[in-house]
Amino acid sequence: MAVVLKLDGVSKSFARVEKNDITNALENINLEMHSGEFISLVGTSGCGKSTMLRLIAGLITPTTGTLTVNGEKIEGPATSRGMMFQQHTLFPWLTVEKNIAFADTMAGKNKEQASVDEVNRMLKVIGLENFRVDYPAQLSGGMQQRVALARSLICKPEILLLDEPLGALDSFTRMNMQDEILNLWKENKQLVIMVTHDVDEAIYMGTKVLVMEPHPGRINNIIDIDLEYPRNRASSKFVEYRRQILDLLHFGQKED
């Protein structure tokens, strides 16, 4: 089903613990995103990227403004909006396969053949078939990240929120996983919003790159990436996009 995600005048502030004031994490964000888009979110550390994803996921409520999916207000988390967190949140008491099947367990269908097949398929995609009965503590950082990715993909969310999903991977595995994610996205045509610190990755994967600036968090620019998939990182247009985005980011830093 095609979805439209709308952020309308969304701001989010947090109370601080030590001082009696607030942090303005996001200020007046207005955005519209559609199924089939792949949005890369870049910006300096602390500019509210994770906050934006948590708002869309429904884990926190906006201070002002509204978030809607197909006109319906987001009131809380739902399996139609999947999220992979920045810090790893695998359940240490569950094995790899049980972690991946967690959403199915919650829905009470983890014993069904369809679920078992899906878990197996995910294990194959992330290349961890041999580690299905290991506990997260026995995996490397990158392996844990891949499991977390698989776990968030299992319920086939219409909106997929990825918070630096490939941060802990070596450049080789990273490139492989980028292609895997792109394949899954092309297959399912969801709306993907992915936070990344890697400008190349943002351009390589996104249909749009959203550049944010901090204090308070705002959207600085939205750049449509007009390149065919699979993209060539060395093409002149690619390089031009990179220069442009790096300029924007640099500008954001100079200000504070």
Partner 1 sequence: MFQMLNEKERNEKGLLREDAKSLRKLTREQLAELEEREKTPREKMMDLIITVLPAVVLAISLLEYTIMPDVNPNPMRHIYTVVLAIVFVAYTAAFILGKIKESKGDKKLIRSLRYRAPLYAAIAAILTLYDILTIKTNYFTYPLVPCVNSIMYAAWTDRAELLRCASHTLVLMFKGYGLGVVLGLITGITCGYSRKVNYWIDPILKFMGPIPISTWIPIIAVLSPSLSGGALFIIVVGVWTAVTNASRAGVANVDKAYFDAAKILGASERQLIFKVAIPAAMPNIMAGMTQGMMTACTAIMVAEMMGVKGGLGWYITWVKSWALYNNMFASLFIICLIFTIVTKILNMVKNRVLRWQIGVTK
Ligand X SMILES: Nc1ncnc2c1ncn2[C@@H]1O[C@H](COP(=O)(O)OP(=O)(O)OP(=O)(O)O)[C@@H](O)[C@H]1O
Tokens of 152: 């968030």
Q: Does an H or E element contain 124, and which?
A: helix 113-125
Q: Which stretch binds partner 1 (CB under 8 A): 53-61, 110-118, 122-130, 182-190?
A: 53-61
Tokens of 238: 């690619």
Q: Does an H or E element contain 97, and which?
A: helix 96-100
Which residues within the stretch 125-154 sit at the binding site for partner 1 (CB under 8 A)? 135, 137-138, 151-152
Q: Which stretch binds partner 1 (CB under 8 A): 104-112, 114-122, 198-206, 237-245?
A: 104-112
Among 40, 51, 145, 190, binds ligand X (CB under 6 A): 51
In terms of CB distance, is 36 or 167 closer to Mg ion?
A: 167
Among 5, 27, 42, 49, binds ligand X (CB under 6 A): 49
Number of chain positions touching ligand X (CB under 6 A): 12
Number of chain positions touching Mg ion (CB under 5 A): 2
In terms of CB distance, is 50 or 99 closer to Mg ion?
A: 50
Q: Distance (Å, rounded) from C-alpha 199 to C-alpha 40?
A: 9
In terms of CB distance, is 47 or 161 closer to partner 1?
A: 161
Q: Distance (Å, rounded) from C-alpha 213 to C-alpha 108?
A: 42
Of 58, 57, 104, nearest to 82 by C-alpha is: 57
Q: Distance (Å, rounded) from C-alpha 223 to C-alpha 219?
A: 11
In terms of CB distance, is 142 or 216 closer to ligand X?
A: 216
Phi/psi region, residue 144 (left: phi>0; alpha: psi -120 to 50; beta: rest), is alpha
Among 25, 47, 83, 212, binds partner 1 (CB under 8 A): 83
Q: Could you tell me if 210 and 39 are in contact, meaning their C-beta atoms sit under 8 angstroms apart? A: yes
Q: Could you tell me if 14 and 22 are in contact, meaning their C-beta atoms sit under 8 angstroms apart? A: yes
Where on the chain is the footprint of partner 1 (CB under 8 A)?
Answer: 54, 57, 59, 76-79, 81-83, 85, 87, 89, 91-94, 102-103, 105-107, 135, 137-138, 151-152, 155
